[in-house]
Amino acid sequence: MKRLLQIGFALGLVGTIAVAYAFPWFDYERYLSKTSVVANGGRVEQFMVRLPADQIESTIEVPGSNAGQRLSHFKLRDAAGNVIGLAAKHELTIDGARETAWLLTIPSRGTIALAGWSPLLGSIESTVADRGLARGQSAEPALSIDFGVPAQSVVTTGEFEGISFELVETWEVTGVDEEGNIRGTLQLNTIGRLSS
């Protein structure tokens, strides 16, 4: 009887796994990429982050004697607003210049790692404050801030492999909440061209 119970349990488990595999309880929704072709053969794609809703964790700041670091993680959306992946931004400030690295991961498509150097412009928070927007205030019209020079791709995987990307980040700031968090959208505009 004990042996029969064990065999029944094993068959039931195998049967449940087989049925779940053949008839999944839910489907993962995959979205088509929203790219445009530019005149010189490249492709343009815009990604978006809604702030502060898409910030996965608070920004981490690591100050040093002559260097500071910031690390931020976000949900990554396509131009239509669908969540399609994750974005991580790392900023390192050394001797009056800033290195920015972005990692865009879209599980169904691949990963793009980008890096770039730019003159030290200050943080987005200080830039917004310099434009006269304090905690608890809204901006109408929204403040549009381009941050630094374009970052260049250093590693690509999946469907992005063999393509050189350039990324420009543009902040569309609609206000600052009472805690000092930026409200608005962060546009990540990419241009990709086949690597030579």
Tens digits of residue pLDDT in 119-130: 656 678 888 888
Maximum distance among all alpha carbons in the chain?
Answer: 79
Strand locations in the chain, DSSP E? Answer: 35-37, 43-51, 55-63, 67-77, 83-94, 97-106, 110-119, 138-156, 163-176, 182-194
> pLDDT for 91-114, tens place per residue?
887 776 778 889 999 988 999 999
182 close to 131: Cβ distance less than 8 angstroms: no
pLDDT of res. 94:
72
In terms of DSSP bridges, do strands 182-194 and 83-94 run parallel, antiparallel, or are they unpaired?
Answer: unpaired
pLDDT of res. 65:
44
pTM of the model: 0.77
Which two structure tokens, joined as six digits, stand for 69?
């670091």
What DSSP string runs through 160-191? GTTEEEEEEEEEEEEEE-TTS-EEEEEEEEEE
* Lowest mean pLDDT, pick from 108-122, 126-140, 160-174: 108-122
